[in-house]
Amino acid sequence: MIYSNEDFLLLSGIQHMAFCERQWALIHLEQVWAENVRTIEGKHLHNRADDPFKDESRKTMRVVRGMPVVSQKLGLRGVADVVEFHKSKENVEGETSRLENREGWWHPVPVEYKRGRPKPDDRDAVQLCAQAIALEEMLQVSIPLGFLFYGQTKHRQAVALDISLRQHTMELSKSMHQLAREGKTPKAQKGKHCSLCSLTEQCQPYWMLRHRPVGNYLERMCRVEGEEL
Ligand code: SF4
């Protein structure tokens, strides 16, 4: 499916969708946002990486920061933290592209910056994969590998952009578009992840799960009062 311009959603939201679909809807449909330590630290890390005017160059590599990316296949647009362009000795059909004001042929490699440590799930990897899919469409190349850089470990981790990761990324973007079309926020699915969520207060997952009909509440209250009397 090819999305039209008015249907485009924020690419970075795919990490929220991978974490919890209710979180995605609260942020992207209801515009609810809360900053906790994690999001503030994440933003600080991004402020350093996401600088569109800073452009490092070396002989065999060019680093572009804050590069706008768009994918019509996914219906997502956003900004890639860092895209490294590695110089190739020759043109490799479908793998290298030209660069403005640069001679030769270049392999693009996306690098996404994250706070903390590598996570037990693939929410960072799907965001990186969505960036890679967008770059592939824009530059007419295929990108087999990207990197995640973690602020706490100061290490970068290679991520193979294989078929299963691409399929998961496609599925998540479809779910984002479906929820956006329906305009409905899904119910809370309480889990361990709620303790790491920046929206626990706004989401109230425990209250929602314990919620019973008002009739039951009134009945209970009357019973309690009756017992006390
Ligand atoms: S508190 Fe839990 S259910 Fe609610 S948005 Fe966060 S992760 Fe999702």
Residue closest by Cα to atom 3 of ligand 1: 188
Is the pLDDT assigned to residue 135 strictly greater than 70? Answer: yes
CA 154–ligand 1 middle distance (angstroms): 28
Ligand 1 site, residue 169, Cβ cutoff 6 A = no
Would you state the pLDDT for residue 84?
Answer: 94
Which of 148, 143, 173 lies closest to 159 in space, CA to CA? 148
CA 107–ligand 1 middle distance (angstroms): 39
Ligand 1 site, residue 17, Cβ cutoff 6 A = no
Would you state the pLDDT for residue 147?
Answer: 97
Q: What is the pLDDT of residues 14-24, one digit of tens each?
A: 999 999 999 99
CB 133 within 8 A of CB 74: yes
Given ligand 1 and candidates 19, 20, 187, 189, which is best to mutate, with the most ligand atoms within 8 Å of its CB? 20
Q: What is the pLDDT of residues 91-106, one digit of tens each?
A: 999 999 998 888 899 9
The residue written with tokens 């503030």 in the block is 40
What would the two tokens of residue 104 be?
């030769």
E strand spans, 27-154: 55-57, 61-71, 76-88, 97-99, 102-114, 145-150
* Nearest ligand 1 atom to alpha carbon 203: 4
Is the pLDDT assigned to residue 155 strictly greater than 70? Answer: yes
Q: Who has greater pLDDT, 48 or 25?
A: 25
